[in-house]
Structure formats: structure tokens, C-alpha cells
Amino acid sequence: MYTKSYLVILAILCTISSFAQNSNDSIQVVDIPEITVSGISNKRLERKSALHIDLLQKDDLKKHFNGNIVQMLENIAGIQSMDIGMGSSKPMIRGLGFNRIAVSENGIKHEAQQWGADHGLEIDAFEVENVRVVKGPASLSHGSDAIGGVIDIQPPIMPVEDQVFGSVSLLGKSVNGTLGGSAMVGFKKDNFMIRGRYSESHFGDYRIPTDTVIYLTQKIPIYNNRLKNTAGLERNGSLFALYKDGRYSSNYSLSNVYQKVGFFPGAHGIPDPSRVEDDGNSRNIDQPNSWVNHLKFTSLQQYMLNDVIYSANLGYQYNHREEWSQFHTHYDAQPQPEKDPDKELEFRLHILSGSLKANILKSAKWENVVGIDFQTQKNEIGGYSFLLPQYNRFNLGGFWVSTWHINDKLTLTGGLRYDRGKIKTSSYQDIYLESYLQNQGYAPNEVDSYKWRSYAVNKAFGNYSCALGLVWIPNDNTLFKINVGRSFRLPSANELSSNGMHHGTFRHEQGDPNLDSERGWQMDALFSFKQNFIQLEISPFFNYFENYIFLKPTGQWSILPHAGQVYRYTGTSAILTGSEVNLNIDITKNLAYNFSYEYLYTYNIDEHTALSFSAPSSIRNTLTWKGNFWQTGIECRSIMKQNRVARNEDRTPGATLLNLNAMIDIPIGRKKASISFALQNLLNKKYYNHLSFYRKIEIPEPGRNFQLSLNIPFTIKLK
């Protein structure tokens, strides 16, 4: 028994890693003979941009680290996490998510299966050290998919001194038995730096504070309060290289993220309580399950000539996802595949993207950025089921953004962008389903609406985005921002062409090939005041969409066996408005209080209801006590009930949660090792996340969780 324990500990130490690197307040610095162009400091960037930007650096992320980058960002008011069990999450910003949020890493938009509520971000959380979150329309510089905001993951920063550096990190959670970690090692000499990382995590079925859930009106037992087959694993590796010499700098990154996670079998396919009986192993990954492998290469080249910084980005990504479930005929005529009969769905998405930019710095008062970017996608499919069609997509955009520093107190920004996109999807007629429905006696029009599992679409979309913003700093303590703009978004392949059962989200999803592009006007503002021991931020926003594309619950049940409710992609006029409030008070030198409030109101103008999947209001009250090498805090989070829902959408009750945390820094030479503790959902409260992947079947959020993380950095100076 002891030998086995030692082997487990040794295995963990061999596979874990870290989360370190010297922190710096500035972005990349380009040193040039006779001229030095310094990267904009985070504080100056926040005051220069008319958009609301939240900056999280290494220490901020370390404080909230839990292995899930989206849940770490959820501590920012206005950022919501659409959770998929304990394994992964999708981000939402002010009620906008999926293809309305751009996630950028090293200057390249991270592309995966954003359309799916059961697909998380394939990004190694251990590797993320600096993040900029833009709340509001960022379409000008990031394209139409940034209509709701951007999560911009910054590249690692080169240390000042020549050295060998690295770190080792460990992570453990009690609610699902997480054991994981990461190891990073790097080398910096003169103008060159290279670093590599390997991360691995394993987790078991997670605990929930209930013994029964309901799926398709049937009660499903939860044995030992563990949600069966929600175990998973993650293995990630990455390399990053950076070179700087005078006017020229470049970086290269290569990463591979692999995730495998099980789906709760009581809510996949036919409701059957026998499928959730305890098998005595809480860490095995049985069917149904999914795995995804995301390979990504990016490159950035930068050169300065005559006060103009020229940049070229290039990136290639390959996202391969498969979902596996024991073959079961939805209809009598459905044949079982000869090869891989249990492969339900397969998606193979290739993405090539790039951009060219010129940042013109000829005047101290004027700064102009012009550029073009492109992206091409090719998606191939497989499996015995059907959801998303094969498609090809190409986007090309050009933009101009100008900043006028009128004086030290007033800055104007504005810009214009035009995008042109084309999408081509393949049609697919299911002759076996057609035969089944005819034999069941369905009318010809109903048969026609279901036999076409995808529609042939060959459409081009073109439109413009524009914005005008103002930053006013009347004094050292006060800041005003306002930004008004027009944005649009190209519809995605699933919104145009899908027509099938998505077991992962418990619904039949139908696209509409006649959909037009999504268009809207957006306004967001910020008032910030700081004096002595008080800092207050209020950030209202208002979005009006002429054509908002959303997944509408129709109230109609699919005629496909075991398919559930039909949800249809529909365009409507809509309003999304609300505000965030953030108040910090330094009660004493060591004791601080934070109040955070977020409010979102959505309105479907055509149907006079709320929009589906609208996040409820929430309040966070936090007390933090700091010492020289430690800090501890208590958080009370109140989630309001969500009764403003779309037709045929479930309401969600509110809840109050209590969380505790503590962090201790241990000096090791010039570095500091850190140990972090967190106790989440201290009272083991049964509550629901209105945005959760499992909300539809009444599965509550995880129960009480104790989390422990350890980070040990090291450096060896080079002579």
C-alpha cells in the first residue's frame, strides 16, 4: 500500500509543472539604435483605450488559479462562465458568448468548436500569465467574432538578465479528486529566449449535493452524490521562442492540448437509471465521452522603419474532436457502421489565419494603425450521428484605427473596418431516416423537414464596423470613457445549416439557411474615481441589435426518437443592457473590502420576452487581510434568481455561497514559492448555474471543494 502511494506521488511529481515567469508592467519592448519604442504600459493602455479593459497579471491569476482559465476570469464583473461539469468552461461577456467572443493567444484568434455549449477552451491554464479582457465591441481590430469582447492572452515576457529559469506547480481538488500540475523550464541568453512546458491533470467523477436529477421527466438516481462518468484528463505541451535585436523582433509558439472527459450517461440518449449504477470506480472514463486535440502554431514578426512598426502574424490550428457513445438506433432502418460503430460525432477543423499591420507613430499626438487580416476554415465530419455539416469558410477584413491625444486630459479614438466572408456547406439527405418517418405515417412536409440533416448553403456576407470613443481625465483621481460603435457578425455554419440531435446539449438544433448577418449598435462607458483609500468603477453598457441570432426554444418536440425539444436559430431585434459596479475600500493598511455587482437585462423586441441563456445578476462581497508574505480572504457571493427567461426556458432559483481562500509566499532566494488554499461552496449549497451545460436536466453545481495549489519557481543566473 505504501509502495503504491509513493509511486503515485512520484508520478505526479514527474508530470507536474509550473506557472511562473518574471512579471512586468509593460508589454513587449522594441530596442532600436538611437530610438527606443517602449511598449505601452498597462496603466497607460487602460487610459488610452475608450473600451473597458481589465488587466490580469501573473499574481492576479495565481491568486484565483484553479486550472480553468474561464473560471479564473469569472472574478471580473461582467464575465460569466458557462460550465461543462468540472472539466472545462466557455466564456461569456455581458451576456454574449460562443462566436461573439474572440479569444486571442499570441495575436492569433483561438479557433475551436465555439458553437457548442459542451465544448470548452482548449488552452493550458498553467501557461497563461498575463491576460487583457476587453468588455465591449472589439470588432475593429479583432474581426466580426469580437462583437462581444476579447480575451487577449499575452505572450510570455523575456527576463532582463541572462538565466535558466522555470517553475513547478501542483494542483489538487477534493470535489473530484483532481491531481495535476505543470513543469516549465526556459533559457534566456542575450537577445534570445526559449521556454517549454508540460502539464497534466487527472480528475474523477465530481460530487453534487443531491441524490436525484430529472431528465426527460424521468428521475435518475445519483449514487454516493457522485455524477457518474464525469471523470477526465488533460495533457498539454508547449514551446515558445522569442528573439529581439534592434529594430527587429519575432516570436514563435507551438502548443498541443489534449482533453478527454466523460458525459453523465443518465442524460445521454435514452433515459435509463440502470446506466448510472455505481461501478465502483470514480476515475474511469466510460462511454459516452468526448476527446479533443488542439494543435496550434503561431508566429509574429515585427520590424520598425521610419517611426512605423510593421507586424506580421501567421497561425495554423488543427482542432480534432470526437464524441463516443454505444451505437443505438434512433430508428429501425439506421444501419450500424462497420468501422468504429460507437463513434457518434467527429469534427476535424483546419484553420489558417494571418494579419499584416502598420502602427504609425510619426506624431506624439496621433497614432494610426492600419491592417488587413484573413482566415480560412475547413471542417470535415464523421460518425454515425449528424449535427454540424462539412463546410469551408473564408474571411478577409481591412481596418483603420486612429487615436488623437488632444492633450493630457482628452483623447479621441475612432476607426472603420470592412469584412467580407464566404461560407459553403454541404447538404446531406438521410435516406434511412426518410424511410423510417414514412413508415411511421408522417406527412410529406414533416418528412422533408427532417430528412435533410444539413442544407446546401453557398453565401457571401459583407458589412462594415465603425466606432468612436472618448477618454477624459479631468484630474488624477477621475476617469471617464465612452465608446459608441456599429458591429456585425457573420453567421456560422451551424446557425445556417445544422439539423440534428445534439445529445451533448439535450436538444434538437435546426439552422436557417436564410439568416442574414448579425448587426447592432453598441455603447459602453466607464466612470472611475480613486482617492485615498476608495476606488469606485461604474461601467454601464447598451446594445441594440437589428438582427440578433439566437437559439430559440420552440416548445415543439422533435419527431426523432429520444431527441427532446427543438431549438431553432432565429433572427430578431434585441436589446442587451446593464452595468457593472466595482468598489474597493482599504479599511486599514492590511484589511481591504471589495464590492462587485453585475446586472444584465435582455429583451427580445419581437416576442416581448427575455433572450435565452441570459446570466442572472450577482453580487460579490470580499474581505481580504494581507501580511508581508501572506493573505487570506472570505467571499460571500449572492446569485439572484433568474425568472426573466425566454419562452419554454427553465427558470433558475438564486443562491448565496460562501468561499474562503488563503495564500502564503515562502522566499526562496530572489524568488517566492507560493502555497494557495481555497474552500469553495463552504456550506455545500445546492444551487444551479443558469448557463451551465447540465442545467437543462436539473443537475446542480459541484458541492463543497477544498483546493490546494503549490508553485515553486527557480532561476540560475548565467555569467
Give, in degrees to the nearest 5, the angle at Cα 341 between 340 and 347.
60
Tell me whether residue 185 is in a domain: yes
Assess if residue 144 is contained within a domain. yes
Residue 640 lies in a domain: no
User: With left for phi above 0 and alpha for psi between -120 and 50, is residue 276 left, alpha or beta?
Assistant: alpha
pTM across the whole model: 0.88
336 contact partners, CB below 8 Å, separation of at least 6:
327, 329, 384
d(CA 603, CA 489): 19
pLDDT of 468-498, one tens digit each? 999 999 998 999 999 999 988 988 888 888 8
Give the bridge partners for 348, in sequence order: 320, 380
Whether 522 has a pLDDT exceeding 90, the answer reads yes
In a domain, 120, yes or no: yes
**What pLDDT is attached to residue 562?**
65
Inside any domain, residue 460: yes
Residue 604 located in a structural domain: no
| pLDDT exceeds 70 at position 269 | no
Q: Given pLDDT bands bounded at 50, 70 and 90, which one contains residue 37?
A: very low
Structural domains of the chain, count: 1
Answer whether residue 615 is part of any domain: no
- In this model, does residue 7 exceed pLDDT 60? no
In a domain, 621, yes or no: no
Q: What SS3 state is found at 142?
A: helix
* DSSP-derived secondary structure letter, 695: G
Neighbouring-strand partners of residue 214: 219
Res 23 pLDDT > 60? no
pLDDT at 17: 32
Higher per-residue confidence, 650 vs 237: 237
**CA dist., res. 692 & res. 686, Å (int):** 14
| Residue 33: pLDDT over 60 | no
Which residue segment(s) compose the domain that 70 sits in?
A: 2-530+541-567+666-717
**Cα distance between residue 681 and residue 657, in whole Å:** 6
Per-residue pLDDT at 83 exceeds 80: no
237 contacts 214 by C-beta, under 8 angstroms = no
For residues 636 and 623, what is the distance between their CA atoms, to the nearest angstrom? 9
CB 708 within 8 A of CB 172: yes
Can you give the CATH number for the domain in which 373 is found?
2.40.170.20
Question: Which pLDDT does position 35 carry in this prediction?
Answer: 33
Q: Using alpha carbons, select from 65, 233, 231 the residue that is nearest to residue 710.
A: 65
Cα separation, 129 vs 478, in Å, equals 29
266, 321, 273, 269: which is closest to 294 by C-alpha?
321
Question: Is-contact 451 437, C-beta < 8 A?
Answer: yes
Residue 246 is predicted with a pLDDT of: 87
